[in-house]
Amino acid sequence: MIRFLYRTIMTIGTPVIELILLIRVWSGKEDPTRVNERRGKTQVARPAGELIWLHASSVGESLAALVLIEKLTKINSSMTILLTTGTLTSARLLTTRLPKRVIHQFAPLDRPAWVQTFLNHWSPNLVLIMESEFWPTQIQQIKNRDIPIIIVNARLSKRSYARWQWTRKMSRSIFGNLDLVIATNPEQAQRFIKLGAPCVEVGGNLKRSAAKLSLNKKLVAEISKQVEGRKIWLAASTHEGEDLTVIRTQKLLQHQFPDLLTIIVPRHPKRGSSIQRLGEANGLCVSRRTLNEEITLETNLYVADTLGEMSIFFDIAPFVFVAGSLVPVGGHNPIEPAHFNCSIFFGPLMAKNQEIADEMIRSKAALQMNANGSLAKLLEDLFNDNELATTLSNNAKEYAESGNAILDSVFGSITPFLKSLK
């Protein structure tokens, strides 16, 4: 019944879906020049030869997918990878990072006609889906064409798992159509088995295999000169609702540490002006990167509202707060700063990267605030305990660099399907 209702809504609900698309374009969440890709249409020709469609919803999944993509492109010089994502941010970040023979498109929305248009054009030979993007129409239409489907880095939050259990008949029709599920850990594997997936393996969390972000050394040197000798911490990928806590932390600690500099990199750069206003309203001297404002001795809050420059600030800041963890976003990937030998800490809401967060905490590679904890107190303790800070940063780097075995494991599970393409 639920499956029928879903299919009916997605079939006859075109006016509503089009309205949603229009609103997303208007609000800056879709690229107006490429919105037809959401309808399954494209101006890009399908290359000849074998084509693997890899779908990664947003930034975190896309970055984890890059290491797999690089390995895939090395095994077959004629094979093309079609990488689809669902967010503008991920598309912008990937622009300069994709290897040759990789095409980026925005994923089609799950309307039957649009999915059919997409599949008719691209005609993939194999579909790889990152993590937890399970769209009923897509999966059913892919299966109807006898195209193998593999879920890579498969994971379900407790809430998502409970939701799929509630729609048991629909979930079995979806998960039963998957050729292989490569779960991040045994607990996740059991969830997929109970939901009806016929073939489940444990491969580990591919996010641990992500390569270190590339670094513009010239910009690092330029900014390092501006902040030389100061105590610096970074709030990485903040969301609305977190900036005020970060700003208040700066205000609380700058009396004890007069040279303290807070750097905020907002997840969505367009929020830069609002963060600047918030900082100034709280009495801080703010400099903003998109306004080409330098960091002076008076600056105590620097808003780095750009895309693709996070590695610069990971390299400069010894202390990194992984944001998205004070609001119900689910926390961002702490592996990225770990490569830069940072002392890492995050808030209590790390559901999207809970497995990595738990492992890093157990390995003494990161600290986590509890629900009633104080960001200022945690940071103060780190500033005053060099031994703790050094232990965290060294362990974090070691943890990040031990992920290559996971890539090998995941790739080994995919290999039999790749052989059938040749």
Integer angstrom CA distances of residue 91 from 131, 280, 313:
18, 32, 21
CATH number for the domain including 235? 3.40.50.2000
Residue 20 burial class via C-beta count within 10 angstroms: exposed 0-12, middle 13-18, buried 19 and up: middle
Q: Are residues 306 and 335 in the same domain?
A: yes
pLDDT string in tens for the chain (422-residue length)? 566 666 666 667 778 889 999 999 998 889 999 999 999 999 999 999 999 999 998 777 888 888 899 889 888 778 999 999 988 888 887 877 888 899 999 999 999 999 999 999 999 999 999 988 889 999 999 999 999 999 999 999 888 899 888 887 888 889 999 999 999 999 999 999 999 999 999 999 998 888 888 899 999 999 999 999 999 999 999 999 999 999 999 999 999 999 999 999 999 999 999 999 999 999 999 999 999 999 999 999 999 999 889 999 999 999 999 999 999 999 999 999 999 999 999 999 998 888 899 999 999 999 999 888 899 999 999 999 999 999 999 999 999 988 888 999 999 999 999 987 75
CA angle 239, 378, 225 (to 5 degrees): 70
d(CA 246, CA 269): 17
Q: Are residues 181 and 52 in the same domain?
A: yes
| Same-domain check for residues 194 and 266 | no
Residues 189, 253: one domain? no
What one-character DSSP code corresponds to residue 109?
Answer: P
20 in any annotated domain? no
- CA 348 to CA 371: how far, in whole Å? 6
Residues 183-233 have pLDDT tens digits of 999 999 999 999 999 999 999 999 888 888 889 999 999 999 999 999 999
Respond yes or no: is residue 336 known to be catalytic. no
Terminal Cα-to-Cα distance of the chain (whole angstroms): 41
CA 357 – CA 346 distance, rounded (Å): 9
Q: Are 384 and 316 part of one and the same domain?
A: yes
Q: Is there a single domain that holds both residue 193 and residue 235?
A: no
In one-letter notation, the amino acid at residue 316 is I
pTM: 0.79
Is 9 inside a domain boundary? Answer: no
What is the residue-wise DSSP string for 161-210?
Answer: HHHHHHTHHHHHHHHTT-SEEEESSHHHHHHHHHTT-S-EEE---GGGGP
Q: Which domain holds residue 256?
A: 217-400
Catalytic residue among 61, 131, 309, 355: 61
Q: Are residues 243 and 279 in the same domain?
A: yes
Phi, psi of 68 (to 5 degrees): -70, -40
For the chain, the domain total comes to 2
